[in-house]
Every structure is written in structure tokens, then in C-alpha cells.
Amino acid sequence: MKKEHQFHFWYFALALFGLLLFQAWLQDMATTQAIPYSQFLDLLKRGGIAEVQVDPEQISGSLKNPGEGPAHFVTNIVPKDLADALQASGVKFNGTVRNTWVAAVLGWLAPLILIVGFWMFLLPRIAERQGLGGMMAAGKSRAKVYAETDTGVTFDDVAGVDEAKAELKEIVDFLREPKRFNRLGAHLPKGILLTGPPGTGKTLFARAIAGEAKVPFFSISGSEFVEMFVGVGAARVRDLFDQARKAAPCIIFIDELDSLGTRRGIGALGGNDEKEQTLNQLLAELDGFDPREGIVLVAATNRPEILDPALLRAGRFDRQVVVDRPDKVGRVAILKVHLKKITVADGLDIGQIAALTPGFTGADLANLLNEAAIQATRRGAESVTMADVTAAIERIVAGMERKGRLLNPAERRAVACHEMGHALAAAALPGTDRVHKVSIIPRTVGALGYTMTRPTEDRFLINRRDLDQRLIVLMAGRAAEELVVGDISTGAADDLVHATDIARQIVTRFGMCADLGQAVLEPARGGFLGEAPGGFSPRDHSEATAREIDLAIRAIIGASYDRAKALLASRRADLDAGTALLLERETITPADFPPLLQEGQAPGDEDQARSASAR
């Protein structure tokens, strides 16, 4: 007999037993009748009582001759003195008994209710706050199950990464029409791993699958598998896949897979037993289920470099889909999706916004348009204009304006000539990003001034000449200070950090230094999150090579500084005039100062762009 059938049988047996008890009680009540105590005394004197049972407050019994009254009776006792007086006066009388059965039942039932209530409601909450949730719900999966309409997101709401969308659409089609794929022997991929930088839309893709697949969708975070008790996470993995098998075809989505899929054996003590057992169970489940069951595991992470190799092999995660930062065409598509929810002015150029935002992810673009809408609301406008978008970009990149921060005249002059040096160098060098705005208004991120530029196109390859020109633009701020003020300041600290980083990569990673050859001397920075702060980078070269690297970096930065200084010296008149104009207006554009225009740039092109330099 199955367990669920046994469960229903015991419920039926309990109900039948209760019914029999209730029937016996009704029969007893039907044959027993309450009589007055005075009648009982009369029957007692005449000898009509056959037998009695005396309780402290009641007397029950039966009659010798049922014709004189009920066969079984019950009566309430009256004190003897009072009964004698009442009987002598010929009054019909009876006693009363206080009904205490409710109090008696509550006396033993109330503590039981309190104990059960504490166990069912209060104890789990206390355990959850104390981190003991695994002890109270060991082995139970916490996955949320969505129907196809729960998320409110479809593939129409996802844009910018067409390749990833095509991969996932194929999985949805596989779930809808398995016979079309099975006719040639193809089977459904077991696992799909979505990787990419934060904010590129990995979780959004998963929600779109839920909206498109029209199959049950189990969504859970990787961190919800891991508890402080060893074995709890593995039990939850088993329970999740058991639920999925019952609901197949279906999709399981695990967000932040790196929470439980970290490479085993990492750490001084050999790793964490609970995490390793959870990962081992996940590997076993991926090997155990049949692709023909229609279960697809979709996972997302922005740290694929730390995942266990056994998790990434074919047969477990058969496909790895990179959801990368969108290019300009992708940004236009993403902006069109988000602009549907915002009231915009007629003629708003989406292409111009996409050009202003190189490197922005989908989440960045959504935040940008929200900031622009807030800016338009703040000024009481009826719609969002390009000026609001520009202000939002400046707000995101450089922070809010701090007009209350007052610089003394010497500091303002140093900042003005510093920013004008960046702007003139960028305008003079061919192939650099166009200058669109120069300002000496302090910002909340610590910048005392900033030079705003915009790339003319997305770049995927950079040659040595372009890198040298970037170094010249970065060093031009300090070179301008030395030329105009006659001294240098700490304002170039951020420029020096970026310049040193570019020079080091030229020497150690790009093989662009003739003295050191084309060998890679430092490993590439791993992952979509970049290097961990304070991380240790192994060195595979000698001390002599390390010294040559340091000398080469110094030589590259020094040469860039000399070239920047020579460039600005040749344009000293423009540098002085631009500094004076910047001190007067605080913010200028190429339309205000034509020397900032590059060759071929129209004087009326006054678009603002994201910051290439901020101090």
C-alpha cells in the first residue's frame, strides 16, 4: 500500500471511531432522563429504586418498576436539611450542578494548543533569525515556482544581446516542440550557464524564459542551498530535482551559481564540507536525470573563473552563453525598450544617447533614463529632453555638483589649466575622443574638474599609437600645470594611476615594448569583476626582468609627459586663453572655444558625453 493511501486510511479510521463514540453517547442520553430530587425521595421511600450511583453532586440509577418513571434516571443532590424542609412543605424541588466540563477541557487543551502553536509558528521564526533555518526545514527546497505569466517579462523585453537571445529561444522551442528536434536524434541540453558582467541582463533572461516557455519554472539562488549544517544543502538539491521531475517538462534557474559551485579544495583547510557536499549532489543530479524528461537547468554567474571544472564539462552545462556589454546597436535596442515607460520629448535622438554611453550595461542604461526622468520632474518639465539625459550622465559619472565647495583663486587657476591641458591635447591628437565639455565645478566623487569626451565609435582593437595618444592626453593635465602655474599639484593623481596601468599593460601583456620582446610577463586580469582588491599576482620572471619592466614603464610615461608638454607649449596661446575663459564661465564647450574642435568636427556639435578624465 502506498504511503499516501495509508495516510487517507488512517484519517478514515479516526473519523469512524469518532462517529461510533458519538452514537454511543446519543444512545445513552436517549435512555437516561433527569428527574427532580423530590421525585427521587418519593421513589426512595416507596422502595421503587433498584440501584443508584452516588457522585458528590449527582445521583444516577435505575427503577425497579420502569412504569413509575424512566428506566434510568439522574438527579442533582440537595442538602439534607433543606431537602427535609422542602419535602415537609410539599414543594417540588431539585438541585443544580455547575457545568464545569468546558473549564476541564480547556484546562488540559489550552497548554497543548500553546505548545503546538509555539512549535509551529514561533520556533521556526526564532530559528530563522538565529541562522538555524536548516534545522527546522532540513532538506526542503526553497525554490519559487512561476507559471508562464507570473514574471511579466518576455523576450520582447530583452534587447542588446541577440546571440544570447537566439540560444535561449532555441531552448524554449525545444521544450515546446521536442518531437521536431528528436526526429534527428537531438536531445535537450542539460544545462545552460549564463556568464557576463553585472547588470548585463542574465536574471532578466531567466525571467523571460519563464514568460515564454509555458512550463513550470523553478527559481532559486545558489546561496539558499548552503546552510551551517553539513548535508542540508545536498538534501535541498535532491528535493529540488525531485520536484522538477514531477513537474517535467520544466526549467530550473539557479542564480549566483558561484555560491555553491566554487572550485573544490580552495582554502587552507581544504574548503567547506557543506559546500562541497552540496556541489557533489548537484553534479550527481546533473548526471542522473535523463534529457528526455524535459528538465533544463539554467544558471547565472559573473564569476565563471572560480567554478569547479567538473561543473563546466560537457554533459552537465552543455552550453555556456556570454551575456556581454552591448555595443552601440545593442544600446539603441535597450534604450528603445526602456523609453517605452518614459514620456520623452519629440525628436529625442536615441542614437546620440547610445553614442554618449560606451561601456554602459542594460542596468546602467535603465538607471540613466530613470535619473533623466527624475531630473525632468525636478525642473517641472512635461517630458524628458536631451538636456535631462546629459545631466543624468554627468550625475552618474562624476556625481552631483558641489557649488558650495569654494576654491581659492590659486586652486581654481590650477584646476582650470589642468582641465584645459587635457582638452587641448585631446583636440590636437588625431584619432582621440572628441571633446564636448570642460568644467571646473567640483563634483561629489571628489573631482574638482572634469573633461567630458565621446568616442566616435565602439573600439574593439587598440593599436600602439592610440595607446600612446591616450597617455599623452592623461599626462597633459600635469604638463599644463607646470607650464602655466610653474609647479605641479596632487590633482593629477588619478591621471597617473590610469597612465601607469596603461604603460604596464603595454609592457607586460601586449608585447609592445621592443626591449622586452613580445612575451606575456603578467597574467591577464581574470573574470568579469576584475582583480580582487589586495589580490596576489604570481610573478614568473626574474628580478632582472622586473627591473627592466619598471624602467620601461618609467620611460613610456616620461616620454608621454614630454610630448604632452611640447604639444601644449606649441599651443600656449590657446592654453592661456582657454584657461581664462574657463575661469570666467566655469563650464565651456567646443562651440564656446573653437580650438577644442577636432579636424572635421562641426562647430555646432555641442553634445555632452561621459567623462574620460575626472579629478
Q: What are the residue numbers of the active site?
A: 419
* Euclidean distance between CA atoms 185 and 173, whole angstroms: 16
Alpha-carbon separation of residue 155 from 13, 177, 611 (angstroms): 53, 18, 33
Label each residue of 309-321 as H, E or C. HHHHCCCCCCEEE
314 burial level (CB within 10 Å; 0-12, 13-18, 19+): exposed
Half-sphere exposure in the Cβ direction for 492 (13 Å, CA): 24
> CB–CB of 190/296 below 8 Å?
yes
Please state, in angstroms and rounded to a whole number, the distance separating the CA atoms of residues 324 and 145: 28
Q: CA-based angle 434:436:441, to the nearest 5? A: 135
Residue 454: strand pairing partners: 434
CA dist list (Å): 436 to 332, 427, 579, 593, 596: 21, 10, 16, 11, 8
The number of beta carbons lying within 10 Å of the beta carbon of residue 196 is 22
Task: List all residues 6 or more positions away from 195 whose beta carbon is below 8 Å from its beta carbon.
Answer: 202, 300, 301, 302, 304, 320, 321, 322, 323, 528
Cα gap 342→84, rounded to integer Å: 96
**Whole-number Å distance between alpha carbons of 548 and 526:** 25
